[in-house]
Amino acid sequence: MSEATTAARYTRADFQSGQEVRWCPGCGDYTLLASMQSFLADLDLDREKLVFVSGIGCSSRFPYYMNTYGLHGIHGRAPAIATGIALANPELSVWVITGDGDGLSIGGNHLIHVLRRNINVKILLFNNQIYGLTKGQYSPTSETGKRTKSSPRGSLAHPFNPVSLAIGAEAPFVARTVDMDREHTLKMLQRAYEHRGAAFIEIYQNCNVFNDKAFAELTGRSERVENCINLEHGKPVTFGKDHGRGVVIDDGTARIEQIAEVGVEAIHVHDEHAARPDAAFALSRLSHGPYGPTPMGVFRDVERPSFGDGLEERVRSAREEHGPGDLNELVRQTGTWLVE
C-alpha cells in the first residue's frame, strides 16, 4: 500500500469545532477535551457516526467544541436523550458527557437506569466534587464537612461514590481515571469504546477556581506513587514504592496490608471479567474519594446482552412473525374504552 493510503484520515484538529473554548484558565476540562479529540483522531471512525450528548454544567459545554454530531440537553437528562439516539440508530457511537452535579443529582435516576438496561452508550462523568457552573456549591460527591457558599458551616451530606454506584447499578463496564494522566485516560477511552453496551468512566477533574487541588494526593509527583493503585487484570493488586503494599479481600471487604507481613499469596489478584461484582465493589470501597490509596483503571468489564441488540432482535422477529405493525390497532386493542 502507498504511504497516502495508510495515512490517518483525521488529526486532532479535525475534531475541533472552531467554537471558542470557554472554560476557566487551568480547568481540567481542557485536558479532557484534548484527550478525546486525540483519541478519536486515532480511532479513525467516521465523524458522522459520533454523537456527544450533555446536560447542564461546565463539562456539558463539551458538544459545542467537538466537530461531530452533538446535543446540549437539559439538566440531568443526557442519559435519556442518549438512550433514544442509541436505540434509533445502533450504528452510532454515542457518548454522554456529564458531571457530578448533572449526573448524580437531578440526573441520578436516568444514570442508574441507562446502566441497568445496558444501553450501548459511553458515559464520562467529570467529577470535580463541586458545582462549578453555578459558582461553587457543594455537590453529591463533595466530602462531608465541605465549606461552600451553600454550606458555610460544612456540608452535612454523605457523598456518593460514583464507581460504587455504577457497580451497584449493574453496569457491565466501570473504570476510573484522572485528567492529569493523559496516557491512562486515552487507554480508558479505548477500553470503553471497545465494550459493547453501557460503559461508565469516572474522571477526577480539577476545578482550579472552586475546588483546586482536590486530587493532589493522586496527581502530586510524590503523592501519586503512594496513593495510586493501578488495577491490572490478572495481576496482584499492589502499589507504593517498590510495590511494598497490596490489597487483601476477605469476606467482601478490601483492606491494605504490607506485603512483607502477609505474603504475596494473600494479595488479591484482579479479575475485571469476574461474573460476580463483589470484588470490584470491595475495591471501589477502599476510598470514598481521592483520599489516600485509591484504585484507578478498569474495575469491571463483563459481557452482557445490550438492550439495543435485544430490541433489534425483538423487532426483527415480530416483523417476521406478524408483518408490519399497525399503531392504530395497537392503541385500540383490549384495555381501552370510550368515556361519554
Sequence spans of domains, the chain: 11-214+305-311
Q: What is the mean pLDDT of residues 277-300?
A: 95
Strands across the sheet with 245-250, in order? 238-239, 245-250, 253-258
Residue 6: pLDDT band (50, 70, 90) is: low
The whole-angstrom separation of Cα 132 and Cα 208 is 10
Strand pairing category for 228-230 and 294-301: parallel
Q: What is the mean pLDDT of residues 303-315?
A: 93
Mark 43-67 as b/e (b = at least 16 C-beta within 10 Å). eeeeeeebbbbbbbbbbbbbbbbbb
In tens, the pLDDT along 194-239 reads 999 999 999 999 999 999 999 999 999 889 999 999 999 999 999 9
Is there a contact between 249 and 281 (Cβ–Cβ < 8 Å)?
A: no
Residue type, 129: Q
In tens, the pLDDT along 134-156 reads 999 999 999 999 999 999 999 99
DSSP state of 291: S
Which helix (H) or strand (E) element contains residue 163?
Answer: helix 162-168
pLDDT for the residue numbered 1: 44
Q: Which value, to the nearest 10 degrees, does the dihedral of the CA atoms of residues 7, 50, 56, 78 take?
A: -150
The class (CATH top level) of 11-214+305-311 is alpha beta
Residue 2: pLDDT band (50, 70, 90) is: very low
Is residue 72 pLDDT above 90, yes or no?
A: yes
Is there a contact between 124 and 30 (Cβ–Cβ < 8 Å)?
A: no
Is residue 337 pLDDT above 90, yes or no?
A: no
Q: Which three cell numbers stand for residue 246?
A: 497490596
- Count CB neighbours of 122 within 10 A: 22
Listed in order, strand segments (DSSP E) in 260-315 are: 294-301
Residue 324: pLDDT band (50, 70, 90) is: confident
**Whole-number mean pLDDT of the chain?**
93
Is residue 331 pLDDT above 90, yes or no?
A: no
